[in-house]
Structure 1
């Protein structure tokens, strides 16, 4: 029994799980990835922190529309070539292109193609936010359902201990993605209640 309990928590992390963790938190080489529009709230904070840590100047281009300089500064005039740009203009242009590239890396393609943007970092960022707000009602419903799922969580007779714990951990991860927080005591108590008491009752009373 002790081995089953240990193995349920200490099973090796697979390559796939490592990839999922990298997608969620990012690495020094790549930003956190948005895989589902419902994850926007948590992802946008992580992504913003990542860009500010590694490419602070580029982050400014999500806050203000970049306009490529033109000859004689005429609106809608012929844009300057890179050779014609000043050093300052070249830096702004490079930061803009970097921010666009980071967003393209960070947003899953099937989400990105739904955004009505003009190709600038600012328009991609604002359209993504608008897309999320548009699905706000759906998100509220999803939160309500997952809270109810947590309240009603129980182990099934057909499940072994590991299956119960795996299903519970997946539920807690989904709650976290939606910004639903529970304190540690409540999380532990809920899992303890879900484990089969004929097997774990005595052990759990000792904790």
Structure 2
């Protein structure tokens, strides 16, 4: 294998699993559950406090200006509010950087990490009926699982592990 091919394989691998400097990419929507697990590990590894805005949400502080409630300028936030703002921006950035160009286009309108995370879950995991259908289909595939003619043992094992994920 040439050095160029090795480099290409390494880049694909880095995109799939991420690196300490960049989150894993959601390259295939059919692989959402694996990506989600890798992304959760990435966030836990890089800065676990990023889960706060993703799971609990973020609301930018406001103040009253000319009898109207408006967002506080970033320069007027206190230290704790600035930390919360930074966590939200890092969380939102991490999620959006892990989407391909095509997927990002579909999820562009989400302004908070929590909203974007929930939208991804809704789209790729579905509601409770869809989840039940997926479980039923997986159960049927598992029950019908058997060795295929001319299949290598490694391929059989790979198919079996794919069913488990």
| TM-score, normalised with respect to structure 1 | 0.61
Q: 5+ residue gaps in structure 2?
A: none
Matched, 1:180 2:161: no
Matched, 1:17 2:1: no
Distance 1:139 1:21 in 2: 29
Partner of residue 105, structure 2: 113
Distance 1:112 1:29 in 2: 20
CA offsets 1:138-183 (integer angstroms, 9 cap, x no match) = 797589679979732526xxxxxxxx79x949x92x765x4537xx
CA offsets 1:96-136 (integer angstroms, 9 cap, x no match) = 11111111111222223323753110001000000112375
Please identify which structure carries the higher strand content. 2
Which of 33, 42, 55 is equivalent to 2:34?
42
Distance 2:80 2:121 in 1: 29
Partner of residue 148, structure 2: 152
Matched, 1:32 2:24: yes
Which of 35, 43, 58 is equivalent to 1:51?
43
Greater gyration radius: 1
Q: 1:95: how far off?
A: 0.9
| TM-score, normalised with respect to structure 2 | 0.75
Q: 1:145 to 1:30 in 2, by over 3 A?
A: same
Aligned alpha-carbon RMSD (Å): 3.4
Partner SS state of residue 21, structure 1: helix
Q: 5+ residue gaps in structure 1?
A: 1-10, 156-163, 182-207
Distance 1:56 1:71 in 2: 29
Q: 1:19 to 1:131 in 2, by over 3 A?
A: same
